[in-house]
Amino acid sequence: MRRRSGISNRHLIFNLSIILIPWLTMIFFGKRNLKRFTVAGVVTTVVEILNHMIGKKLGWWEFFDKDKSFVKNELPFDLGPYMPMSMWILRFTYGNFKKFLLLNTLADGLFTIPVMPLLKKMKIIRLHRLSYLQFFIYIFYKAFILYGVQYWVENRRNS
């Protein structure tokens, strides 16, 4: 079943879910934590959006819907799970870099396998010119940017 916009109902419901559910968890995040971790969350989300634009252009993945809109395909991943999840990971691990790396490795590994194969079965997205290992590296390297930005923010606040 397709809507006039060219996006299937399945894809539309998926997009709304991946945007709304992660942001609903922010109700429990706390105002102080939100203020503390927002800058790092925003910066890494902007980096992720730029990466998605490059990945889209290079054909690293394909969405099953024929509509090739960045807004309908890649952007919901950035606006939905990416920023809240990054901020939650910082909240629970900032100050312990080993714990931060371990939790990011786990989260990115779970997204790479089994979530990406599940999204392929759901006919949402599939990897095209990247292996699962390459995709993991593509999402994992941004953890260092996230931690680095938060480190910079904390040092500016404390000086």
- How do residues 122-147 score in pLDDT, each as one tens digit? 999 999 999 999 999 999 999 999 99
- How do residues 59-70 score in pLDDT, each as one tens digit? 999 998 877 889
- How do residues 64-94 score in pLDDT, each as one tens digit? 887 788 999 999 999 999 999 999 999 999 9
| Cβ atoms of residues 13 and 6 within 8 Å | no
Select from 16, 114, 159, 28 the least CA-distant residue to 151. 159
The two tokens of residue 117 are 């194969």
Q: Which residues contact 7 (CB under 8 A, 6 or more apart)?
A: 15, 65, 67, 69, 72
Rounded Cα distance between 143 and 92, Å, is 14
